[in-house]
Amino acid sequence: MNLWSTLERAARLHPRNVAVVEDGRSTDYARLRARCAAFARVLRAHGVRPGERVSILAWNGQAFLEAYYAAAGAGAVLNPLNVRLVARELREILADCGARLLIADSGFAELLREVVAAPTAVEHVLWIGAEGSTGAPERGASLERSIAAELERGAGAWTPDTVAGDALAHLYYTSGTTGRAKGVMLTHRNVSVHALATLFELGLGERDTWAHVAPMFHLADAWATFAITWAGGRHVVLPRFEPVAALELMERERVTITNLIPTMLNLMVRHPSARGRDYRSLRLVLSGGAPIAPQVVREILDVFGCDYVQTYGMTETSPYLTLSLLKDHLRALPAEEQLAYKCKTGRPFAAVELQVVDAEGREIPGDERTVGEIRVRGETVTPGYWNRPEETAAAFRDGWLMTGDLAVIDGEGYVTIVDRKKDMILTGGENVYSTEVEHVLYEHPAILEAAVFARPDALWGERVCAAVVLRLGTNANAEELAAFCRARLAGYKVPREIDFLASLPRTGSGKILKRALREPVAG
């Protein structure tokens, strides 16, 4: 089982189906397959051999989707790069993975000049959107012209060599929020099994239109590249996230399903223009990449008028581990009780075994009170970290990947994450789970965004702190928000400090970067 076969299937069964829509231009599956084959030949022409790494630094677009398939066709390992990284971080990743070829949006030319100012393995750059550009650095060529030249030579009919399922397909570097980034290895089997399981779990088909709004360099969105293609569905792309542009895309392109990061959904549903649009085609909104507050889920259901599923996963697991899809008998519950289940982290994804265990590795009771760590195993789980045998060994215990996520589980088998191990706050001997406090803050009508974290405290060890962003046209002060929390939480869980910010710092994938919040705000 390899990734190229998913495109081959779509091109054979659905050749005239629209595969990709970008900027009003559409490409069908027959044409997409030909372009990806030509792209793969371009990679081979530049000396890329099976198993070699090819990096890509690009915004969402058809070229990104084609790069995923071209790398698979050439037997190469694609290394998607976070577009928010600085030159030093990019240089470290390129050095670590040893990529000799880089695919990049021409808008990153200046940044990449700085990257290659110091020695790297990169020998050549294929530029996306370089047509007519005079600013591209040397050692580069236009990707589009290169593909067109191969198509003229008949390379679109080329059939790539068979790639084994255990061969590496992708190398994703973690965001580095807790230290130096490390490369997560995913095989063709990892990614293919995950895609096949999503077809089963989400009922994906050729009538679906997927909106690539979350970044395609991140697995919150990238998995759909293969699942939607396998189904013969339609991809529509938004190059960069902006709330109004995302809402317009979903309405204009009659999107049926998408997966968005909670911060994106929060900004979209709370935008003044969100209501009154036509979302009748939308059947399902998924949320993943970070916890989401129940109040935001209520607004998603109210604004979009479609079903909602919370997802949880990791880069190391391709990514899904749970979905908050309701069992049939739970759909008979009153709406508010159904909502409570939708807001849980979810029950195990079809492709994995999942347990919540105590420190001795024993499964915890399904009482929704006892807290344990989630561990998983299955065909979608990474074989390990690139060139990091010690860290690979440390991540696994008795054949299970230890996630570092703390959770409770109920009698129905639905888990609810209460915190990351590293984000749990220990104050005066009491455990405070940041998500619980964040959910309360989101209930306040003035709060647009909130993050809860710890700062050192001489008396209590750590104290609970929060950073918030207020909705436009509203007012609130620290005393008011503390009183709001105190009425709903035990006193030791109430934030002792509240910082008011214009926006919360985020990683390139859109997750809130709590590390950057832990230093007190000056002034």
Q: Looking at residue 134, what is its pLDDT?
A: 44
Residue 256 inside a domain? The answer is yes
Contact 444, 437 (CB under 8 A): no
297 shares a domain with 177: no
Look-up of token digits 């089997």: 189
The CATH number of whichever domain residue 402 belongs to comes to 3.40.50.12780
Which of the residues in the chain have pLDDT under 70? 131-139, 175-179, 290, 429, 508-509, 520-523
| Count of other CB atoms within 10 angstroms of residue 486 | 14
247 shares a domain with 325: yes
432 shares a domain with 384: no
Domain boundary among 420, 447, 473: 420
Q: Give the Å distances, CA to CA, from 167 to 66, 155, 188.
A: 19, 24, 6
456 shares a domain with 494: yes
CA 298 from centroid of its chain's CA atoms: 22
274 shares a domain with 144: no
**Domain containing residue 376:** 241-420
437 shares a domain with 413: no
Listed in sequence order, the residues at least 6 apart from 501 whose beta carbon sits closer than 8 Å to its beta carbon are 467, 468, 469, 521
Residue 67 inside a domain? The answer is yes
Residues found in the chain: 523
Residue 216 inside a domain? The answer is no
Residue 204 inside a domain? The answer is no
Residue 198 inside a domain? The answer is no
The CATH number of whichever domain residue 499 belongs to comes to 3.30.300.30
Residue 212 inside a domain? The answer is no
Listed in sequence order, the residues at least 6 apart from 319 whose beta carbon sits closer than 8 Å to its beta carbon are 194, 219, 220, 223, 288, 313
82 shares a domain with 175: yes
Q: Looking at residue 132, what is its pLDDT?
A: 46
Q: Looking at residue 202, what is its pLDDT?
A: 98
Say what the pTM is: 0.85
275 shares a domain with 162: no
Domain boundary among 399, 420, 441: 420
Q: Looking at residue 135, what is its pLDDT?
A: 46
Q: CA 284, 289, 290 angle in degrees (round to 5)?
A: 105
382 φ, ψ (degrees, to nearest 5): -50, 145
For residue range 315-356, what is the model confidence (pLDDT) as tens digits? Answer: 999 999 999 999 999 999 999 999 999 999 999 999 999 999
Angstrom distance (rounded) from CA 412 to CA 402: 22
Contact 405, 417 (CB under 8 A): yes
360 shares a domain with 456: no
Q: Looking at residue 176, what is its pLDDT?
A: 45
Residue 214 inside a domain? The answer is no
Q: How many domains does the chain have?
A: 3
Listed in sequence order, the residues at least 6 apart from 505 whose beta carbon sits closer than 8 Å to its beta carbon are 512, 513, 516, 517
SS3 343: coil
Q: Looking at residue 178, what is its pLDDT?
A: 42
330 shares a domain with 303: yes
DSSP of 310-326: EEEE-GGGSSEEEE-PP
Instruction: Give the DSSP H or E segment for 103.
Output: strand 101-105
268 shares a domain with 358: yes
245 shares a domain with 175: no
Residue 213 inside a domain? The answer is no
Domain boundary among 394, 420, 446: 420
The CATH number of whichever domain residue 86 belongs to comes to 3.40.50.980
